[in-house]
Amino acid sequence: MPGSHNWRHRFKGHVSRWTVPREAILEFLSKSSKHMSAKEIYASLCKSYPGMGLTTIYRTLELLARMGFITKLTLGDGQSRYEFKSSEKEKHHHHLICTECGKIINYSEFLDEELKLVRKTEEKLAKKYDFKILDHNIEFLGLCKKCNKSKNITKRTEELKKKSKERVENAK
């Protein structure tokens, strides 16, 4: 199984103690190539780990995201999605997230161009705030092709649209 157990090696010294939920969730996400919600993870793991409740899963996911082992994506529906952070360069990607339907698009084709800008920004931020930057998440929020055509959009998206228009106009 590619990727599986790799994380053990990678993260071995990162935590003082590996609890069952941490191991089980990381193992599960490292084998999945999808962006999963806490509820989906719970549904997949509850049979093998009957003692692991949804609250524990939420808490563990937050912790793993904070430690940089997984990426947390915040969607318009209020339900975050989680994804294993691969160490392999070819798997590194950023996200386009549709705030209407929750569709997530992975992209990696413009990363080199973006990286130049990101590096420059990171250097300046590090200096100004005396902050050592280790990683980044980049996500763009918007509307997918289907939702952009749809006439029934939610209030939230309506607001995002308005704000984006203002931003464009202010930049002129």
Q: Is 99 in the site for Zn ion (CB under 5 A)?
A: no
Instruction: Closer to Zn ion by CB, 44 or 56: give it.
Output: 44
Q: Which of 103, 141, 142, 153 binds Zn ion (CB under 5 A)?
A: 103
Q: Count residues binding Zn ion (CB under 5 A).
A: 8
106 touches Zn ion (CB under 5 A): yes
Residues 40-79 that bind Zn ion (CB under 5 A): none
Cβ proximity to Zn ion: between 21 and 100 the closer is: 100
Among 25, 26, 82, 100, which residue sits at the site for Zn ion (rule: CB under 5 A)? 100
**Is position 21 an interface residue for Zn ion (rule: CB under 5 A)?**
no
Binding span for Zn ion by CB under 5 A among 17-25, 74-82, 121-129, 143-151: 143-151
Q: Is the separation of the CB atoms in 5 and 18 below 8 Å?
A: no
- Site for Zn ion contains 164 (CB under 5 A): no
Which spans of this chain sit near Zn ion (rule: CB under 5 A)? 83, 98, 100-101, 103, 106, 144, 147
